[in-house]
A and B are shown apart, each in its own frame.
Chain A
Amino acid sequence: MKYLKFFLIVIMLFPLSSINAEENDKRNKITKNLRCLICQGQSVYDSDSEFANSLKIVVDKKLQEGFSEYQIYEYFKTKYGEWILYDPGLNKNTYILWLLPILIFLIGGAIIYRSFIVKK
């Protein structure tokens, strides 16, 4: 009987703690991708300013309400604009940012190919 109780307790505790940890991970991930608007070069996760602390509360609330990560980003985007995200999406203001590395990579590759491989 004692063992049974013990097992029951373990079984009941285990999934709960893992859910909690998952929630925490998600929250940390989201707050790391949000820019603290009043502190330069810090994410909401790093900052302890009034603004960042309020934002953390809002993220917690939204997670409890069942918002997905993407929905939370969309929510903040409507409030503060794209600037609040550290990982901006592909749009007309950011396409250079996204395409330039690929372009440089391709051009570099072409140069290497032409001058070293073709020459042989």
Chain B
Amino acid sequence: MKNKILPFSIIIIFGIIFFIFYKGLEDSKIYTPDVNTKKEIPVFNTKEFFSEENVKSSSIFELDKVYLLNIWSSWCVPCRQEHPLLMNLNLENKLNIIGMNYKDNLKNAENFLNELGNPYKEIFIDLDGTIAIEWGAYGVPESFLIYNNEIIKKYIGPLNQELVDEINLFIK
């Protein structure tokens, strides 16, 4: 009897271990950010894009207004793709689009805006990428839908028509 329990239990234990590791293989090994949890927006100090004057985050984001914070850069190719969509979104008066210029050469960034238009109500600069980290961003482009100083939703990567429709739905 004793001799039978031992091999049997070994098989079961290895079976369980195998199952756990096998399940583990299916998990994503790539960072998948949490896009739906509401979070307070961070507090930071930065510079305004055109005037290069110091601004506080609290003076940019007001309560009771919907904002779309868009992280962009002139060297980022997908930003170029989503830019026309931002221009269209800007036609909706209820949405305030704020730009965060990420690790960019300011001259190039200005050329980018001259070429493709400026959909942003306000732009601030993030020269060393530290403000983007405060926001929990890890690349460009990224967009944050903000209402009442809370991040409602995070969009990673370039916006597309589907997401724009979703944003429009939210504004209405």
Does A65 lie at the interface of the complex (its beta carbon under 8 Å from any beta carbon of B)?
Answer: no
- Residues of A near any B CB (own CB < 8 A): 35, 37-38, 40, 50-51, 53-55, 57-58, 61, 79-81, 83-84, 96, 100, 104, 107, 111, 114-115
Contacts of A51 in B (CB 8 A): 129, 138-139
Contacts of B134 in A (CB 8 A): 79
Q: Which of B25-33, B64-72, B109-117 contacts A (4 or more CB under 8 A)?
A: B25-33
Given A37-B138, A79-B134, A114-B6: A54 touches B129 (CB 8 Å cut-off): yes
- Closest residue of B by beta carbon distance from A115: B6
Contacts of B32 in A (CB 8 A): 83
Given A100-B20, A107-B13: A81 touches B33 (CB 8 Å cut-off): yes
Ordered by A's residue number, 5 sampled pairs between the chains whose C-beta atoms are within 8 Å are: A54-B103, A54-B132, A57-B130, A81-B34, A115-B6
Partner of A80, one of B33, B128, B130: B33
Nearest 7 CB-CB pairs, A to B? A54-B129, A37-B31, A79-B136, A37-B138, A58-B130, A58-B133, A51-B138
For this complex, into which size category does the number of interface residues on chain B fall?
20 to 34
- Closest residue of B by beta carbon distance from A54: B129
Is A55 within 8 A of B133, CB to CB?
yes
**A80 to B134 alpha-carbon distance, docked (Å):** 10
**A100 to B130 alpha-carbon distance, docked (Å):** 38
Does B10 lie at the interface of the complex (its beta carbon under 8 Å from any beta carbon of A)?
Answer: yes
Contacts of B132 in A (CB 8 A): 54
CB distance from A60 to the nearest CB of B (A): 10
Interface of B is mostly: loop
Contacts of A83 in B (CB 8 A): 31-32
Contacts of B138 in A (CB 8 A): 37-38, 51, 80
Is A54 within 8 A of B20, CB to CB?
no
Contact code string B3-16 (vs A, CB < 8 Å = 1, else 0): 00010001001000
Contacts of B29 in A (CB 8 A): 40
Contacts of B13 in A (CB 8 A): 107
**A2 to B29 alpha-carbon distance, docked (Å):** 63
**A50 to B33 alpha-carbon distance, docked (Å):** 18
Partner of A100, one of B17, B31, B136: B17
Partner of A50, one of B30, B31, B103: B103
Contacts of B17 in A (CB 8 A): 100, 104
CB distance from B125 to the nearest CB of A (A): 14
**A53 to B34 alpha-carbon distance, docked (Å):** 23
User: In chain B between 11 and 52, which residues have their CB closer than 8 angstroms to a CB of chain A?
Assistant: 13, 17, 20, 29-34
